[in-house]
Amino acid sequence: MTAFRDRTAAGRALAEALAPLMRPPCVVAAIPRGGVAVALPIVERFGVPLTVVYARKLTHPTAPELAFGALDEDGEATLEPALVAGLGLSPGDIEKAKGEVWEEIQRRIALYRVPPLGHYLPGSAVVLVDDGLATGLTMRVALAYARRHGAREVIVATPCAAVAAAAQFRCAADHFVALTVDARFAAVGQYYRDFSQLTDEQVIAMLEHARRFLAPASTDRG
Domains and CATH numbers, the chain: 7-54+116-211 (3.40.50.2020)
pLDDT band of 31, cuts 50, 70, 90:
very high
d(CA 138, CA 122): 21
The pLDDT assigned to 2 comes to: 72
Average pLDDT, the chain: 93
| Res. 56: pLDDT tops 90 | yes
DSSP class per residue in 14-68: HHHHHGGG--SSEEEEEPTTHHHHHHHHHHHHH---EEE---EEE-BTTBTTS--
Confidence of residue 62 (pLDDT cuts 50, 70, 90): confident
| Per-residue model confidence as pLDDT tens digits over 152-182 | 999 999 999 999 999 999 999 999 999 999 9
